[in-house]
Structure 1
């Protein structure tokens, strides 16, 4: 290039030549990596299958472990083990009890009060059904008595009485039907709540619930469905007491609706101590050895290239590009597993979907990091001066 041309551009000719050479070298590295992949020299397809199986297997193991914990929590809540009852006859505030539903960890809450009259049906007059006054929140607690979540009741659901499943079966009643009364007339069955005989308190096994306003301080019980169980649950329950007697011997009683499932389920501890939590670490180690082995089996080829003048940096970049192709392909192959987990597996009771995505992405991330680290270390220990030894031990 002439001096005039150099002056016109304002860039030294040697710098432009160096940049052009760098672009050509990078293009050559990419082309060589692509040729190795297409020709099968890098065994990219086989490595992709192996890594995909490992990533998918370890991710699935962790996923099903998390689901198992979620199912355990689901059963615990649905059994009534995380539902608590404070009983203090005539001293429970309905409004204070209902307000507990706004506290973190409280799914639903409502007050109950015994009634002197019973529901006596024309079908079975000899077996009158004990009746309780219930606030709207209490109806919600019993409507979801066998679920881990809550249900939303409509205005229509408060029009009439609610029967336990055993009471409804005894009088052959169903939700929405009319129950003929022994004294004449009828009452609408607004709903039927399930109350299985699985260790729950028998107080609500054969009962009728009638919705009443909350603005009273003479309720007998406050039923609170929780998860996770608040640390200050006892204080929260005692806050529903409208008036404390001067006699210290009179105290409210607090109990689990179902004490047969244990007094506590530490889901956080179970989640943290699950064995599959080590899956990313296991993947990192395995991927590191795979990446290291992939380069070491080609050490003779790489040392020969260095002997012919190929820069070690260019060869390292080539190995990284090849590894990225089959490693990223393996991760893409397992991507449907993550999508399926988010859309089909109900783990929201212990972990939100965004957090689940983050946890499941640890295994693929560990695979990528391990492979690249293994490739890099293998390139560092591959030297041109060992060419003769590599040739001798091939």
Structure 2
């Protein structure tokens, strides 16, 4: 049979409803889009939990060792893969404002890297960094000056430090950046993803002091979101990951059943002398029409299931989950081939009796 005849036969079957293309396409689109959207939302939920964990300070590791932290070594930790930023901190004399002499502001000397840990940039201008709530209370903005008993103090910047369970010392404190030299009391490092190996790297910021008896403690800035977050484990272990395989299985079953429902028609065509190759080609064309139409519908539905969640990795999630509808469209063709070979001309009268 010529290609034109094959295409003509497939077209007539689709137009007359013999293929049931509309019903099969909508059904496959609904299944594959539903499974893909459920998995996409599961992945986005994991990402949002990870973002919440990081933004709350759960990924910031704090090593406390009084007068034993090498400030320069602590800053260099940021060069290690997986350590986003690192900086040292030590307490210093409180800042006493002339208008608030009875209420001094606790102050800490910090290295520039610690300002980065808090989401700022110490290179913007010289001066003190204040938490947002304290700056609001004092009514100051970056660039303004505070009159203290020791002279004027410029406000270099403002950092967010909400009261969400994190170490409360910096809720009401002034941070005074200085060069990363000398010995400090603490080393803060934002580590992501979390790793015990990277925790051990913090020890490289310690100075060697055999006479010191103070303990060295590594803790977490905020434990309110838990002490660990295994994003990789949550992603690979999510129950909805089987939805992608489910899409492929749905396409295979639907493609198989769609052809088996037409076994009498197919056996009769074989009995009348139509070649199996020509018949299979026509069936594959018909299946391709409804299965790839289903893919397009599912792809559009997945866009509305992913983009409204407005995450930075929406496109990555879309790429992962569009594989499900794509697999469904392809396995429908496989189901068509398998079903066609189960239909034999010799069973024509049996198919007729059981119709």
TM-score (norm 2): 0.92
Which residue of 5, 17, 22 corresponds with 1:40? 17
Conserved? CA contact 2:28–2:250, under 8 Å? no
Residue 133 of structure 1 corresponds to which residue in structure 2?
109
Partner residue of 1:260 out of 224, 227, 240: 224
1:162, CA displacement in angstroms?
0.6
Matches within 5 A, 1:20-35: 25-35=2-12
Is the contact made by 2:294 and 2:329 (CA closer than 8 Å) also made in structure 1?
no
Residues 84 and 256 in structure 1, CA contact (< 8 A), matched pair in contact too: yes
Partner residue of 2:83?
A: 106
| Aligned-residue offset at 1:134 | 1.5
1:300-336 Cα distance to aligned partner (Å, 9 max, x none): 1111111110012211121111111111122122334
Moved over 6 A (4+): none
Instruction: Assess if the C-alpha contact under 8 Å between 1:67 and 1:347 holds in 2.
Output: no
How far 1:281 sits from its partner (Å)? 1.8
1:310 equivalent in alignment to 2:274? yes
Name the count of aligned residue pairs. Answer: 354
Give the distance between the partners of 1:353 and 1:92, measured in 2 at CA. Answer: 42
Change (3 A) 1:72 1:387: same
User: How far is the alpha carbon of 1:185 from its aligned partner?
Assistant: 4.8
Residue 202, structure 1, aligned to residue 129, structure 2: no
Name the residue aligned to 1:239. 204
Over 3 Å counting, the alpha-carbon distance change for 1:37 and 1:278 in structure 2 is same
Q: Structure 1 pair 123/174, CA: closer, same or farther in 2 (3 Å)?
A: farther
Partner SS for 2:157: strand
Between stretches 256-265 and 161-170, larger displacement belongs to 161-170
Structure 1 residues 176-214: Cα deviation after superposition (integer angstroms, max 9, x where no partner): 433233x27532222222222222112222110112111
Q: Secondary structure at the match of 1:239?
A: helix
Matched, 1:282 2:246: yes
Match of 1:11 in 2: none
Render the CA deviation track for 1:136-156: whole Å, top value 9, x for unaligned.
Answer: 1111111x2xxxxxx6x3743
Q: Deviations over 1:207-227 (max 9, x none)?
A: 10112111x131221111111
Contact persistence 1:120–1:127 (CA under 8 A): yes
Q: CA deviation at 1:337?
A: 4.9
Q: Is the 8 A contact 2:194 2:229 kept in 1?
A: no
Which of 127, 137, 151 in structure 2 is aligned with 1:160?
127
1:367 matched to 2:328: yes
Contact 1:90 / 1:217 at 8 angstroms: preserved in 2? no
TM-score by length of 1: 0.83
Cα deviations across residues 17-74 of structure 1 (Å, max 9, x unaligned)? xxxxxxx523321221122223332121222222222221111111000001111111
Once the two structures are TM-superposed, the CA of residue 366 in structure 1 deviates from its matched residue by 2.3
Greater C-alpha Rg: 1
The residue aligned with 1:124 is: 100
Q: Which residue of 2 aligns with 1:376?
A: 337
In the alignment, the residues of structure 1 paired with residue 167 and residue 196 of structure 2 have an alpha-carbon distance, to the nearest angstrom, of 23
Would you say the 8 A contact 1:59–1:363 is kept in 2?
A: yes
Aligned counterpart, 1:174: 141
1:50 aligns with 2:15: no
- C-alpha contact 2:74 2:86 (8 A) present in aligned 1: yes
C-alpha change, 1:184 and 1:210, in structure 2 (3 Å) is: closer
